């Protein structure tokens, strides 16, 4: 067990022991930031898996120089990707390491049927590999929340300050500017078609500051940002620990939390040798990511084995081929995160808005095309280059209302069973969106490639939550506005597990704002 604060497991310094946060991902650090503002010094308990020495050394070599000085050997090492999903898109690694996805507790791994939801045990969770797209949710989404949009608005602002310190947006590529201009020229037709578009908002540092360097537009976003310009919970946490604002204990696997008369007892194991560990606290904030939060909550009470409903956003991908390429695009200094968001509101296709996240030119496209063509790729190099320079890939997301049903049940051996029931509606919506994109292709000056429409498994879009939805009048395993389940007072669930529904929009910004809201305002005994 490694501790970034002078405290022992069972005899912890009182100041730090009062409040535990379980998990160091985006929801955990958002809750921590709010608690620190309130005058507390929370302790984060975390599995805390980190990249291996090879990846750490690679990152520090790259971080110590400007992009022009990077060596081809280091770049070749960096550009490793993981296995491809059903959409054909390879898993994003960080400096060649898959540590963000590494399952260090096989004994409790969930079993899946027609669904795929990942859990992260990493220091910083999935924020190590996330795409950093942020967007507040539409006001209408809060109709089924126990709080209104206005109550969350100030927490959106606090989180934005935390994750976008420079305020300004990162510069989009020339290809994206050209696409945006093409869409603007057809604004009236697109309005009539219910199509809205905008540049993506990204949690990326855009000016050098005391904390780090700004984005250098080096085009490596899909492999790892050497300067941590892409916001990550891991670097935020390290800063908070350095400044003495929070304590951090890693190599801890929490299994359950029991309720005491004056607080809670967190029951855990060491991830190194399974030795039992306990931590007594005034209150605990649970930010372990959907599957682990569900496992810990279901272990913590005597609940009937009824399946819990997962709210999740189905995902599909569709490549679009621009009519023209941008000269010298492969040499342009650009970022390769999401470039643009397109929203389609067409009641004939879907009662809820469908969102497309557009990814423009990046060097992965030619690698994916070449691997699909196998031996033919060598003579077809010029064609591969031409196609990849014109390609824009749209990641389509659906509202949880119309997405596939997914349920999770705790089985007798304490593991979770995750069952997906693939929605036919998802397929028909995906196909209808492609037909629509084809019909309005001249507005985009890009044609979709219908044969390349791909659907991922339910849960594959990394947008899942809602097992303990917050309600004004909660019942059973529903949570109240402070993320508390009635039979488990003293535990505040602050990750996506408490979201009442998921629109077709990025999730993490809202999860962070909600975690920040709960930790800012929830009653804490002897609050002083
Ligand atoms: C490739 C990829 C791209 C993404 N892109 C975007 C995007 O652009 N925009 C967006 O909004 N979302 C995106 N997401 C989703 C987003 O990253 C997640 O919603 C978000 O990171 C979840 O944060 P979290 O803190 O709730 O949980 P996690 O990131 O899952 O973190 C869980 C934390 O809990 C700890 N933990 C887990 N179990 C235990 C245990 N039993 N005991 C102790 N500690 C434990 C882990 O160590 C970790 O620190 C993406 C996800 C992926 C994988």
User: Which band of pLDDT confidence, cut at 50, 70 and 90, is reported for residue 17?
Assistant: low
Strand, helix or coil for residue 153: helix
Residue 451 Cα to ligand 1 midpoint, Å, equals 32
pLDDT at 3: 56
Ligand 1 pocket check for 508: Cβ under 6 Å: yes
If one residue of 21, 25, 84 were mutated to test the ligand 1 pocket, choosing by the most ligand atoms within 8 A of its CB, it would be 25
If one residue of 33, 34, 508, 518 were mutated to test the ligand 1 pocket, choosing by the most ligand atoms within 8 A of its CB, it would be 508
Residue 263 Cα to ligand 1 midpoint, Å, equals 27
Query: Looking at the predicted structure, is the pLDDT value of residue 5 above 80?
Result: no
Residue 305 Cα to ligand 1 midpoint, Å, equals 26
Residue 139 Cα to ligand 1 midpoint, Å, equals 24
Question: Is 517:155 a contact under the CB 8 Å cutoff?
Answer: yes
- Among 244-258, 369-383, 392-406, name the one with the lowest average pLDDT: 369-383
Taking only Cα atoms into account, the Rg of the chain, rounded to an integer number of angstroms, comes to: 23
Ligand 1 pocket check for 291: Cβ under 6 Å: no
Average pLDDT over every residue of 207-214: 90
Question: Is 253:268 a contact under the CB 8 Å cutoff?
Answer: yes
| Ligand 1 atom nearest residue 24's Cα | 49
Average pLDDT over every residue of 43-60: 97
> Looking at ligand 1, which residue's alpha carbon is closest to its atom 37?
288
pLDDT at 1: 61
Select from 393, 292, 402, 418 the least CA-distant residue to 347.
402
Ligand 1 pocket check for 203: Cβ under 6 Å: no
Ligand 1 pocket check for 253: Cβ under 6 Å: yes
Buried-exposed string 430-440: b where 16+ CB fall within 10 A, e elsewhere: bbbbbebbeeb
User: Which tens digit of pLDDT belongs to each residue from 322-340?
Assistant: 999 999 999 999 999 999 9
Ligand 1 pocket check for 254: Cβ under 6 Å: yes
Residue 127 Cα to ligand 1 midpoint, Å, equals 6
Average pLDDT over every residue of 185-196: 98
Query: Looking at the predicted structure, is the pLDDT value of residue 125 above 80?
Result: yes
If one residue of 93, 106, 126 were mutated to test the ligand 1 pocket, choosing by the most ligand atoms within 8 A of its CB, it would be 126
Query: Looking at the predicted structure, is the pLDDT value of residue 355 above 90?
Result: yes
Residue 297 Cα to ligand 1 midpoint, Å, equals 17
How far apart are alpha carbons 61 and 226 in whole angstroms? 9
Query: Looking at the predicted structure, is the pLDDT value of residue 257 above 60?
Result: yes
Select from 445, 364, 438 the least CA-distant residue to 186.
445
Instruction: Report the DSSP pairing between strands 308-312 and 405-410.
Output: antiparallel
83 DSSP 8-state letter = -
Residue 120 Cα to ligand 1 midpoint, Å, equals 6
Query: Looking at the predicted structure, is the pLDDT value of residue 54 above 80?
Result: yes
Residue 25 Cα to ligand 1 midpoint, Å, equals 5
Average pLDDT over every residue of 296-316: 96
Strand, helix or coil for residue 444: helix
Residue 506 Cα to ligand 1 midpoint, Å, equals 13
User: Which tens digit of pLDDT belongs to each residue from 442-495?
Assistant: 999 999 999 999 999 999 999 999 999 999 999 999 999 999 999 999 999 999
Backbone angles phi, psi at 417, to 5 degrees: -115, 120
Ligand 1 pocket check for 26: Cβ under 6 Å: yes
Select from 73, 50, 219, 212 the least CA-distant residue to 122.
50
Which of the two residues, 31 and 12, has the higher pLDDT score?
A: 31
pLDDT at 166: 82
> Looking at ligand 1, which residue's alpha carbon is closest to its atom 19?
508
Tokens of 123: 């220091």
Tokens of 149: 């949009």
Residue 528 Cα to ligand 1 midpoint, Å, equals 31
Question: What is the model's pTM?
Answer: 0.96
> Looking at ligand 1, which residue's alpha carbon is closest to its atom 46?
121
Strand, helix or coil for residue 86: coil
Residue 153 Cα to ligand 1 midpoint, Å, equals 22
pLDDT at 14: 38
User: Which tens digit of pLDDT belongs to each residue from 128-183?
Assistant: 999 999 999 999 999 999 999 999 999 999 999 999 988 889 999 999 999 999 99
Which of the two residues, 7 and 128, has the higher pLDDT score?
A: 128
> Looking at ligand 1, which residue's alpha carbon is closest to its atom 51?
130
Question: DSSP alpha helices (H): ranges in 193-258?
Answer: 233-242
pLDDT at 167: 82
CB atoms within 10 A of CB 242: 9
Mean pLDDT of the chain, nearest integer: 94
| Ligand 1 atom nearest residue 268's Cα | 42
pLDDT at 13: 44
Query: Looking at the predicted structure, is the pLDDT value of residue 504 above 50?
Result: yes
In the chain, the percentage of residues whose pLDDT exceeds 90 is: 91
User: Which tens digit of pLDDT belongs to each residue from 428-441?
Assistant: 999 999 999 999 99
Query: Looking at the predicted structure, is the pLDDT value of residue 297 above 50?
Result: yes
Average pLDDT over every residue of 19-47: 97
pLDDT at 88: 85
> Looking at ligand 1, which residue's alpha carbon is closest to its atom 3?
130
CB atoms within 10 A of CB 415: 15
In the chain, the percentage of residues whose pLDDT exceeds 70 is: 96
Query: Looking at the predicted structure, is the pLDDT value of residue 219 above 70?
Result: yes
Cα distances from 445 to residues 164, 322, 326, 390, 439, in angstroms, run 32, 6, 13, 11, 11
If one residue of 289, 397, 414 were mutated to test the ligand 1 pocket, choosing by the most ligand atoms within 8 A of its CB, it would be 289
């Amino acid at each position: 067990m490694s501790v970034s604060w002078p405290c022992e497991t069972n005899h912890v310094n009182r100041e730090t022991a009062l409040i535990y946060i379980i998990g160091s991902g985006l929801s955990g650090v958002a809750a921590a930031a709010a608690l620190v503002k309130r005058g507390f010094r929370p302790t984060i308990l975390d599995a805390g898996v980190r990249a291996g020495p090879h990846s750490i050394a690679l990152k520090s070599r790259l971080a110590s120089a400007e992009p022009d000085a990077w060596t081809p050997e280091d770049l070749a090492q960096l550009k490793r990707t993981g296995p491809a999903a059903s959409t054909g898109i390879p898993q994003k690694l960080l400096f060649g390491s898959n540590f963000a996805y590494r399952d260090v507790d096989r004994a409790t791994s969930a079993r899946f049927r027609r669904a795929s939801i990942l859990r992260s045990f990493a220091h910083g969770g999935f924020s190590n590999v996330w795409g950093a797209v942020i967007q507040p949710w539409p006001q209408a989404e809060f109709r089924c929340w126990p709080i209104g949009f206005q109550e969350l608005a100030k927490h959106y602002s606090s989180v934005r300050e935390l994750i976008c310190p420079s305020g300004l947006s990162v510069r989009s590529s020339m290809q994206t500017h050209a696409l945006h201009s093409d869409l603007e020229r057809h604004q009236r037709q697109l309005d009539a078609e219910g199509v809205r578009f905008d540049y993506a908002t990204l949690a990326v540092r855009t000016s050098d500051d005391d904390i780090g360097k700004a984005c250098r537009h080096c085009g490596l976003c899909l492999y790892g940002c050497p300067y941590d310009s892409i916001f990550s919970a891991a670097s935020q946490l390290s800063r908070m620990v350095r400044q003495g604002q929070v304590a951090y204990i890693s190599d801890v696997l929490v299994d359950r939390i029991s309720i005491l008369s004056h607080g809670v007892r967190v029951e855990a194991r060491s991830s190194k040798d399974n030795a039992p560990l306990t931590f007594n606290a005034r209150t605990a904030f649970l930010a372990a990511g959907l599957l682990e939060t569900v496992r810990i909550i279901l272990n913590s009470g005597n609940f009937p084995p009824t399946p819990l409903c997962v709210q999740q956003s189905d995902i599909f991908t569709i490549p679009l081929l621009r009519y023209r390429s941008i000269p010298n695009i492969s040499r342009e200094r650009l970022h390769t995160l999401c470039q643009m968001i397109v929203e389609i509101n067409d009641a004939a296709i879907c009662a809820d808005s469908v969102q497309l996240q557009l990814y423009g030119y990046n060097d992965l496209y030619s690698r994916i095309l070449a691997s699909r063509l196998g031996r033919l790729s060598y003579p077809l190099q010029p064609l591969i280059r031409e196609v990849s320079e014109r390609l824009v890939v749209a990641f389509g997301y659906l509202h949880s209302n119309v997405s596939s049903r997914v349920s999770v049940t705790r089985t007798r051996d304490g593991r979770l069973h995750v069952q997906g029931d693939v929605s036919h509606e998802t397929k028909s919506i995906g196909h209808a969106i492609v037909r629509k994109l084809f019909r309005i292709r001249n507005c985009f000056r890009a044609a979709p490639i219908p044969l390349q429409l791909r659907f991922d498994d339910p849960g594959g879009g990394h947008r899942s939550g809602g097992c303990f939805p917050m309600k004004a009048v909660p019942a059973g395993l529903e949570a109240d506005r402070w993320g508390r389940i009635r039979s488990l007072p003293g535990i505040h669930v602050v990750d996506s597990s408490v979201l009442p529904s998921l629109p077709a929009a990025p999730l993490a910004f809202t999860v962070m704002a909600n975690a920040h809201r709960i930790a800012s305002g929830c009653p804490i005994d002897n609050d002083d």
